[in-house]
Structure 1
Amino acid sequence: MKKNDNSQTRLAVTALALVLGLGALTACNTTEGVGKDMQSAGEAVSDAADDAKD
């Protein structure tokens, strides 16, 4: 493998990681949004557990 091929692969992986990271950040918009999303998910799991228990 040539040194140039390795650099191009590394650049492609870095670009992909950046795009995915930015996508994740914009999905929740803010840290507060992440907290609300996590809280909603926790409540849904809790509700499902309560339903299964009954």
Structure 2
Amino acid sequence: MAQSGMNGKRESVIDENLKRVYEEALEEGVPDRFRDLLDALKKQDAPTGQAK
């Protein structure tokens, strides 16, 4: 039974750490270089000189 309690505690700590890292990743902004690349790709995909 003690082993099961230790595993539960360990899983809880791992779970909390994964959630914290995930939250930190969500709070990070998109790097400028990546944003520039996305803008360039959008311009590349945009139709040029075509009537709508």
Superposition TM-score tier, normalisation by shorter sequence: 0.5 to 0.7
Distance 1:16 1:10 in 2: 10
Partner of 2:2: 2
Q: Which residue identity lines up with residue 25 of structure 2 in the other structure?
A: L
Distance 1:29 1:15 in 2: 24
TM-score, normalisation: structure 2 = 0.54
Report how many residues are paired: 32
TM-score, normalisation: structure 1 = 0.52
Runs of 4+ in 1 over 4 A off after TM superposition: none
Task: Between the two structures, name the one with larger relative contact order (CA 8 Å, sep ≥ 6).
Answer: 1
Distance 1:9 1:29 in 2: 33
Partner of 2:26: 26
Q: Percent identity?
A: 12
Long gaps (5+) in structure 2 = 33-52
What RMSD, in angstroms, separates the aligned Cα atoms of the two structures?
2.0
Greater percentage in helix: 1
Structure number with bigger Rg: 2
